[in-house]
Structure 1
């Protein structure tokens, strides 16, 4: 066992003589730490601040992605909305689309819709003014069934090439029968097919009186009528006297003439006739019209 004063425990004894050496003084001297280089702490703070900003930006971006995803899920799973349908895959071996199919499936000429529009009127030959603005055709009136163009005709007779006149008038018990004549004033042949649209009008603006003419389908089916230049077609119009109906049901109103839409046309012709009286109540029907026919035919 070694004693507390064993020379092996004393470094000075080991060095010899028991006297302190120069190394003892060197190691015993106090150590003064070197100061860090200038700007070190500022650089550390900047790097720490940059790391914090990157963490904040990353957290914000993650939050935005989560919110957007949740919104999309909610929008896709709202009650009542049908599930999304994906488009079918496109086959490279598919047959080419027939671009003419849609054209063949659509009519070449739309039949004029029903309505009671009031087109403005302007001169159209000796038969009276014709409307320059398209107007809906009265229900039950013209726009007859289009059956094609008759041989030798160039197309449907337009309002701007037709003259309208009264060919004959005949009275009967409680009614007046008017034969309306359409004359082709153009340079080319044309065709008329079906029922004209006819209504009584009053006032300077041609306001319609009551209901338009109904179709007299008992007079036979419409047939194409070819009109050469200066050729004519006729139709029969029956006008029931307003006095046949109680005044409280009819509301009698003096008329100034007839507004007539040729078959398959949206521009009207105007025929003055102040001898007619209409019923303002649209529930009372006074007019009925037959399909056009060749003049002189049955």
Structure 2
């Protein structure tokens, strides 16, 4: 990283579902399960969650390409899946998600106070998502009414590329007039979020509580015994780091301290090049 003098974090780019709203990214997971079940394909929650963070049409291709999805499609339809099947499933997905997404747009506990605190410190708040701009027209007003808003929202249809490419992140930087990338932090709840940040030369932070990667609903999280919960968190943290995460935090409430840690690292890097 090329560090200029007195560099500090300027911009935090959040994901939406599973990071700032929609605990455990339940809306897309629920809808994927529904449309694939209607098509005669039965996938586990882990299989459905695997590609989470991608643009949704690409997510459908991944589900059809996985061993279970591909095998079941062949057994059910007697042929390989094709792009017409992807388009058909996506149309069903988009219609169903559009109907329910607003119900899943409540901020995750801790988000409103944490983000507002970061804004008061002068940090800019960007966001990227796997949702389309049309879907976000449903999400943004609901989240704002409950206290959470970002300074910019970038969707895959704006850039023509989704994660793990960094182009949505770059568009946030452009809109917010922030550079270099080492002063940007990507915060998310999937491996693809971590890759998006690292591919753009930014810092990446993974959140455990409420995340798609941890894969627990709020009720499951609260009811799980501590030993098993810690085991699940350890495995999720490992997957974040394998995807390039610089820091893994327990909840969004820990983000301000993580930002301070990144600023300390930037200061050490600056001293090293003097």
Structure-2-length-normalised TM-score: 0.20
Q: Which structure has greater helix proportion?
A: 2
